[in-house]
Amino acid sequence: MAEFVMPQLGADMTAGKLLRWRKNIGERVQRGDIIADVETDKADIEVEIFASGVLDKFLVQPGEKVPVGTPLALIREEGVAVPAAGAVPPLVRTATAMAPIRAVAPAPSIAVPPPAVSPFSGRLHISPAARKLAEEQAIDPASLAGTGPGGRVTLEDVQRAVQARMAAQEPPDRQTRMRQAIAAAMARSKREIPHYYLSTTVDMNRCVQWLAQENTRRSIADRLLYGVLLLKAVALALRQVPDLNSFWKEGKAVPSADVHVGVAVSLRGGGLVAPALHHTDQQSVGELMKQFLDLVQRARAGSLRSSELSDPTITVTSLGEQGVDSVFGIIYPPQVALVGFGKIAERPCSVDGQIVSHPLLMATLSADHRVSDGHRGGLFLAALERLLQEPEKL
């Protein structure tokens, strides 16, 4: 038996509200299936499952808000008999059910104010999992009535206390919650990550000319935006400098085998999300453009999938259309780098000893100094610039 738990969809998420189940008890589910809709502070998310089997039991009902990591349902391996009433099957919180989400997104420490009173006395009986959750949620376990053997405080006791606290609080509106979530993640990033910043000016003349020519050959629905060239170039440059395509986890850098570029999308009405374009480095610019269009539409419509929020290995933000020259962004933990782009503007530059006017773009890198040094960051920007001089090869 495996547990399907409330996923952590980014460093700024501590809890989620189950909106509805998409599958029924007894139904077969496969890895990647969307089985539930969950409301987070930022958006309503379609949650995929990362294990296969048969949906055995719902542990949480629609409308309930529970902390990240709370078991939502039990998944039985296919072919395994339904346990008899009263029998207690071995419960396995399988890696397949949890690792893809948990591995990349440790709980944000910023959202956890220190408890006013040290919650742990030597005589308190509490399970390690319950102790951890109580610490994360700033709940004094001594105030809880333990329901375990000998009055031991269990994980379920702490989860109930968290839910009771949530129920007692007046829920702020979505905009307020989104700002709070962004504030938590960004404050954590600035507090914990020693950022360094680099920038370079990229001559976009070849990209602009190639794109104009290319788009005359494409139907309206297949036209490219220059942003997709930037995303593909970032992904390929990461292959050359993979240090920046990592996660900071448990005190060390863990490289990601795949490149999933997260795209910062501003939402109408305020706030932003940064969902992933999966395997950005392996797709043609045409395929990427289709996915980019779809992703932005769904982000703004509030129908993103859980993997799109949990998988980004780096974030790209572009503020050129707002007239910004350059962007020095804040890294989204546990990622270790962020790439920013300003506007493309005609400016004088020197080409082959001649002063000419070309469309120039400022590309910036914000990187985690615990993981990489300026030398590696410089190599990344140099690779990015080189790649953008040959747009036809992207």
Partner 1 sequence: MSREEIRSAVLRALGRIAPEADLSQLQPGTRIRDQLDIDSMDLLNFVIGLHKELHVEIPEIDYPKLATLDGCVDYLAGLLKTA
* Between 227 and 333, CB nearer to partner 1: 227
Strand bridging mode 34-39 / 15-21: antiparallel
* Between 223 and 386, CB nearer to partner 1: 223
Taking the complex as a whole, how short is the minimal distance between the CB of residue 144 and partner 1, in angstroms?
A: 44
* Between 128 and 269, CB nearer to partner 1: 269
Stretch that binds partner 1, among 63-71, 72-80, 105-113, 214-222 (CB under 8 A): 214-222
**Residue 226: CB partners within 8 Å, gap ≥ 6?**
204, 207, 208, 211, 344
Residue 34 binding partner 1, by CB under 8 A? no
Binds partner 1 (CB under 8 A): choice among 103, 225, 345, 349: 225
HEC profile for the chain?
Answer: CEEEECCCCCCCCCEEEEEEECCCCCCEECCCCEEEEEECCCCEEEEECCCCEEEEEECCCCCCEEECCCEEEEEECCCCCCCCCCCCCCCECCHHHHHHHHCCCCCCCCCCCCCCCCCCCCCCCECHHHHHHHHHCCCCHHHCCCCCHHHCECHHHHHHHHHHHHHHCCCCCHHHHHHHHHHHHHHHHHHHCCEEEEEEEEECHHHHHHHHHHHHHCCHHHCCCHHHHHHHHHHHHHHHCHHHCEEEECCEEEECCCCCEEECEECCCCCEECCEECCHHHCCHHHHHHHHHHHHHHHHHCCEEHHHHHCCCEEEEECHHHCCCCCCCCCCCCECEEEEEEEEEEEEEEECCEEEEEEEEEEEEEEECCCCCHHHHHHHHHHHHHHCCCHHHC
Stretch that binds partner 1, among 37-45, 209-217, 324-332, 358-366 (CB under 8 A): 209-217
Residue 324 binding partner 1, by CB under 8 A? no
Stretch that binds partner 1, among 119-127, 279-287, 289-297, 376-384 (CB under 8 A): 289-297
Residue 79 binding partner 1, by CB under 8 A? no
* Between 216 and 350, CB nearer to partner 1: 216
Taking the complex as a whole, how short is the minimal distance between the CB of residue 203 and partner 1, in angstroms?
A: 20
In single-letter form, the type of residue at position 315 comes to T
Residue 321 binding partner 1, by CB under 8 A? yes
* Between 36 and 228, CB nearer to partner 1: 228
Residue 59 binding partner 1, by CB under 8 A? no
Taking the complex as a whole, how short is the minimal distance between the CB of residue 281 and partner 1, in angstroms?
A: 21
Residue 210 binding partner 1, by CB under 8 A? no
Residue 227 binding partner 1, by CB under 8 A? yes
Taking the complex as a whole, how short is the minimal distance between the CB of residue 387 and partner 1, in angstroms?
A: 21
Taking the complex as a whole, how short is the minimal distance between the CB of residue 251 and partner 1, in angstroms?
A: 39
Written as six digits, the tokens of 143 are 């105030």
Q: How many residues bind partner 1 (CB under 8 A)?
A: 15
Residue 297 binding partner 1, by CB under 8 A? yes
Residue 292 binding partner 1, by CB under 8 A? yes
Under 8 Å between Cβ of 207 and 226: yes
Residue 296 binding partner 1, by CB under 8 A? yes
Binds partner 1 (CB under 8 A): choice among 52, 94, 200, 215: 215
* Between 248 and 292, CB nearer to partner 1: 292
* Between 297 and 357, CB nearer to partner 1: 297
Under 8 Å between Cβ of 36 and 65: no
Stretch that binds partner 1, among 101-109, 122-130, 211-219, 362-370 (CB under 8 A): 211-219
Residue 221 binding partner 1, by CB under 8 A? yes
Among positions 265-284, residues that touch partner 1 (CB under 8 A) are 268-269
Strand bridging mode 44-48 / 304-305: parallel
Binding site for partner 1 (CB under 8 A): 212, 215-216, 220-221, 223, 225, 227, 268-269, 292-293, 296-297, 321
